Copies of this chain bind each other. A is one copy, B any other.
Amino acid sequence: MDKGILIVVSAPSGCGKGTILGEVLKDEKFYYSVSATTRSPRPGETDGVNYHFLGKEQFEELISKDGMLEYASYCGNYYGTPRDKVLEKINEGKNVILEIEVQGAMQIKKKCPEAVFVFIAPPSVSELRNRLVNRGTETAEVIEQRVSEAAQEIQHAYEYDYVVVNDDLQQAISDFKAVVRAEEIKTVNQKNIIDEVLKNA
């Protein structure tokens, strides 16, 4: 069996990343990588679902053993991607989706150059602003901050292999799936294909 693919996905807030990944993850060939953190669980959060909740020492031991594919410290807590689970699922043939911000993605790129990097972008920053305004859940100030952050993040799009523009949602889902399928049938990812075709020739 061929190994699965590690797919690293970044997107500014409000680009529909959650909806696109939710659709993709309906396929059992995909596995969503759950982050680890040292912050305390909030009401309703479940260990292993929302996060792997780890103690600070446990987290730092993983760091020291190179057990984190990437990590960052934020507001006094660690957040990161435990290496073992990701590799285990890839070896089982699952495509592992790792949803992460730009800096984390660039850390992964150094450790896993064979991973596939996908950036999900809005059709335009002004359209992103419209969507956030129409959603009506954020103040004008928060919206402008998000738009400004999005514009910053989009500057890094060229460090990714693919850019999926979420203009039409169905097209964006289809594009994301096309990327994964194309990667699956890349010659480098079908290492036994010649032997398989030629067996019993």
Contact = CB atoms under 8 A, between A and B. Distances in A.
Interface of A: 119, 121-126, 147, 151, 154-155, 157-158, 160-165, 174-175, 177-179, 181-183, 185-187, 190, 193-194, 196-201
A187 B181 CA distance: 17
A157 B163 CA distance: 28
B175 A158 contact: no
A127 to B, nearest CB: 9
A201 B181 CA distance: 33
A9 B4 CA distance: 26
Interface centre among A126, A155, A197 (most CB of B within 10 A): A197
B162 A186 contact: yes
A176 to B, nearest CB: 9
A198 B165 contact: no
B201 A151 contact: yes
B200 A124 contact: yes
Contacts of A174: 181
Contacts of A122: 197
Interface centre among A122, A125, A158, A185 (most CB of B within 10 A): A185
Contacts of A123: 197
A162 B190 CA distance: 9
A201 B163 contact: no
A201 B196 CA distance: 52
